[in-house]
């Protein structure tokens, strides 16, 4: 199905064209399931998984999307891991706020599949909450598992000080490694 809108045109097969943009913007699918990952590999520039562990990235997401892209003659896909994370000294306090903020995922069927696969009962259990070393180590595990980039989500559940610490860490990691964003 083709779309010809005022600011966006999407014609199958992809890419999407934004009038006036120097290059087409990348198209990434939010996917962790096998079928959607195969579709992302065949049609899109990559995926941005959420609520997935490094093991799921390494064992399922990266091999599935990469094989589909290769079979379709497409370049290696981007895997932009969306990671809920907060740098803090108050792990329990932030975990409580994360539980409240992420509770709606507990009832989302796709999230429930991810949570079962990861062996947790609630989505907030997949958030990375801790000091700079804890969050940096988690980001490194995702990179080692095949994430081409890591995007930190949910810094807004932290206090202003925690947000500043999280953003400072992201800046430091991005300068040194070049694959972390907020």
Would you list the DSSP string of 50-115? Answer: BS--HHHIIIIIHHHHHHHHHHTTPPPPEEEEEEEEEE-S-HHHHHHHHHHHHGGGGG-HHHHHHH
pTM for this prediction: 0.83
Q: What is the mean pLDDT of residues 53-79?
A: 96
Q: What is the mean pLDDT of residues 117-124?
A: 93
- pLDDT exceeds cutoff 70 at 92: yes
Distance from C-alpha of 143 to C-alpha of 179, rounded to nearest angstrom: 9
- pLDDT exceeds cutoff 70 at 15: no
CB within 8 Å of 146: residues ≥ 6 apart:
57, 58, 61, 62, 79
- Whether the CB-CB separation of 10 and 16 falls below 8 Å is answered with yes
| pLDDT tier at 85, thresholds 50, 70, 90 | very high
Q: In this predicted structure, what is the pLDDT of residue 119?
A: 93
Distance from C-alpha of 44 to C-alpha of 28, rounded to nearest angstrom: 6
- Whether the CB-CB separation of 32 and 60 falls below 8 Å is answered with yes
Q: What is the mean pLDDT of residues 154-166?
A: 89
Q: What is the CATH number of domain 24-181?
A: 3.20.20.30
Distance from C-alpha of 178 to C-alpha of 107, rounded to nearest angstrom: 35
Q: At what angle do helices 62-71 and 34-43 cross, to 10 degrees?
A: 40
- pLDDT exceeds cutoff 80 at 95: yes
List the domain boundaries for the chain: 24-181
Beta strands 3-4 and 9-10 are antiparallel
- pLDDT exceeds cutoff 70 at 180: no
């Amino acid at each position: 199905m083709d779309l010809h809108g005022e600011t966006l045109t999407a014609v199958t097969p992809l890419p999407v064209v934004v009038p006036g943009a120097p290059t087409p913007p990348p198209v990434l699918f939010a996917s962790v399931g096998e079928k959607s990952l195969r579709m992302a590999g065949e049609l899109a520039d990559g995926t941005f998984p959420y609520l997935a562990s490094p093991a799921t990235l390494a064992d399922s997401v990266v091999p599935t999307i990469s094989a589909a892209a290769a079979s379709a003659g497409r370049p290696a896909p981007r895997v932009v891991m969306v990671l809920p994370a907060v740098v803090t000294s108050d792990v329990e306090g932030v975990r409580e706020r994360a539980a409240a903020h992420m509770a709606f995922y507990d009832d989302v069927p796709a999230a429930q599949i991810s949570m079962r696969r990861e062996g947790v009962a609630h989505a907030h259990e997949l958030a990375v909450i801790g000091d700079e070393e804890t969050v940096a180590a988690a980001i490194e595990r995702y990179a080692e598992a095949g994430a081409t980039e890591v995007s930190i989500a949910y810094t807004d559940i932290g206090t202003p000080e925690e947000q500043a610490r999280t953003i400072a860490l992201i800046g430091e990691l991005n300068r040194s490694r070049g694959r972390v964003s907020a």
